[in-house]
Structure 1
Amino acid sequence: MERRSFIKNLSLGSALAFTTTGSTFGKVKMANKAQARFNLDYAPHFGMFKGHSGEDLVDQLKFMADQGFRSLEDNGLLGRSVEDQNRIGKTLEQLGMRMGVFVVDGGDNWKISLTTGKIEFIDNFVNTCKRSVEAAKRVNAKWATVVPGFFERRLPIGIQTSNVIEALKRGAEIFEPHGLVMVLEPLSDTPELFLRHSDQTYAICKAVDSPSCKILYDIYHMQRNEGNLILNIDACWDEIAYIQIGDNPGRKEPGTGEINYLNVFKHIDNKGYKGILGMEHGNAGPGKQGEEALIAAYRKVDQFK
């Protein structure tokens, strides 16, 4: 999630050199930003590179840009001050970077569930959507993550699904005039969550029937919940607006787990995907060395052309 201006001497070349001792940066050659750009648009988050860039948000963004990253993801944007939101937006514009998702977070979204149909939860969701529009304008965001909440044991699944669809229609009405897309994220964190599978999310998006209600396909969560990644991506493709990354097990950078990200990224690129791939995962290693290893891992799996 961060980075500092010493990075001017650390810009990654189009190919990272690995030494025989296993050092990830080894002897990194100087490169301009055009040479450092990735094939796909991977989006780090704040704090991911703080060993190199420190705590300042602007310094972190500059480090990301110098390493060839073209977008930012910031789940906690709504919790930031208006001043910080404006600083982020201004810096992204200056660096020519895009804003990825932030979370439409009106509290503990997992427990304040839209499945219940309770008016207080729906009102909270609608009000948070309105706040999200204002925050999105400050950073030029186009996507915002929505999690419907927990499974409601006292209601049949069909009723829960209908409650979620009706609430999402309310959200879509708010977002549509502003070109903002809420992306629904099926998760694997706990079986208590209502939204867990790509086909379920696909059906809900079809029912809401809005350009402002699409799927956030998180590869880490979907590997845990259903696997068969490429076929399921294809099946849901016309409703997928955003993709996130994380290897399994561990939820760290590509190459630390079982997912063949080189093949997955090649497939996504072949489908013509021009959107953002959010790096919603931790660093496998600590400190600067771990940050360098993470960047090297993305260089490796991005070499599919």
Structure 2
Amino acid sequence: MKNHRNPRRTFLKNAALGSALATFTSGVSLANTRTEKPIRQHFNLNYAPHFGMFKNHAGNDLVDQINFMAEQGFPALEDNGLMKRSPEDQKRIGAALEKHGMTMGVFVIDPGFNWEVALTTGKETYKEAFVKECEKAVEVAKIVNAKWMTVVPGYFERNLPMDQQTANIIDAYRMGAEVFEPHGLTMVMEPLSDNPHLYLRHSNQAYMICKAVDSPAVKILYDIYHMQRNEGNLIPNMELCWEEIAYIQIGDNPGRKEPGTGEINYQNVFKWIDHKGFKGICGMEHGNASPGKEGEQALIDAYHKADAFK
């Protein structure tokens, strides 16, 4: 007895088999694509690495490092030494950031006396040098589409009363603001903890100077590492100065490495910053706790962990 096949049933069976095979091979193809090019993982906050942080993965070339940062989901870059780079490198950095839709974070304005007794003295030579460097910074900012520049007023002038020193800094920063305001740029002053000779050490000092200068071009860079060392009580102190904070930097204490390597509850701090609606940059101004590729991956993992708040 012959087995007569139903042509319609055979067609449907073959079609179903073909569809399943197509789905399977499509899945294999997608998996291979993901293996060759890692999926870009996004963060809640705008974390900005710096050059050298991922050199074991990306190599020494600046653009290759930016490419790697972008692949890992970092939306920004900061480069303290940008003004000292060649015009060619500045252009390459700007082009790479534009390609990936990344934002340029801070670079440092360094007139050459940030670690000396300078703006606190009120001397015209220091103010003129500061303004000249601000003018140079405007041109560099245009190349990389930057908005923020770090400023540090220098050391105490021990021969002047504290209020006189503060007034001298306010005068200098007003001069700098006149340079930046027409371009929509902002210098962010950073209280530091490196040594006791530094004039600007606390967030309330910076807040007072901002109020006195009264310009959108002069705001606070709140470096969480330095402020943990100098004053602690991070969230309440940030709240007190919040309206003048334009930029945030990160580093755990002790050690100044990635979140989770010290005493700061960064997941809680990041959660608070996010709930404040902060859309600016959180610069990763710290070192890697461990060397090599393993240390770099551990750093990336640490940020995903600290960023996983609800």
Report the equivalent of 2:20. Answer: none
State the alpha-carbon separation in 1 of the partners of residues 248 and 107 from structure 2. 13
CA contact (8 A) 2:39 2:72 kept: no
> How far has the Cα of 1:231 moved from its partner?
0.2
1:285 aligns with 2:290: yes
> How far has the Cα of 1:104 moved from its partner?
0.5
The structure whose residues are more often helix, as a share, is: 2
Helix, strand or coil for the counterpart of 2:154?
Answer: coil
1:183 aligns with 2:188: yes
1:32 aligns with 2:39: yes
State the alpha-carbon separation in 2 of the partners of residues 105 and 112 from structure 1. 14
- Give the ranges of 4+ consecutive aligned residues of structure 1 lying more than 6 Å apart after TM superposition: none
Helix, strand or coil for the counterpart of 1:187?
Answer: coil
Aligned match for 1:295, one of 276, 280, 300: 300
Quick one: which amino acid aligns to residue 243 of structure 1? I
> How far has the Cα of 1:30 moved from its partner?
7.1
- TM-score, with structure 2 as normaliser: 0.88
1:217 aligns with 2:209: no
Aligned match for 2:241, one of 236, 239, 244: 236
Report the equivalent of 1:44. Answer: 49
Quick one: which amino acid aligns to residue 281 of structure 1? H
Q: Which runs of 5+ in 1 are unaligned?
A: 1-8, 14-27
Q: What is the RMSD computed on CA atoms of the aligned residues?
A: 1.6
1:266 aligns with 2:271: yes
> How far has the Cα of 1:32 moved from its partner?
2.6
Cα 1:31–1:57 change in 2 (3 A) is closer
> How far has the Cα of 1:78 moved from its partner?
0.5
- TM-score, with structure 1 as normaliser: 0.89
CA contact (8 A) 1:102 1:143 kept: yes
State the alpha-carbon separation in 2 of the partners of residues 164 and 210 from structure 1. 14
> How far has the Cα of 1:118 moved from its partner?
1.0
> How far has the Cα of 1:110 moved from its partner?
1.9
Q: How does 1:117-136 map to 2 (within 5 A)?
A: 117-136=122-141
Q: Which runs of 5+ in 2 are unaligned?
A: 1-30
Q: How does 1:241-256 map to 2 (within 5 A)?
A: 241-256=246-261
Quick one: which amino acid aligns to residue 107 of structure 1? G
Q: How does 1:16-95 map to 2 (within 5 A)?
A: 31-33=38-40, 36-95=41-100
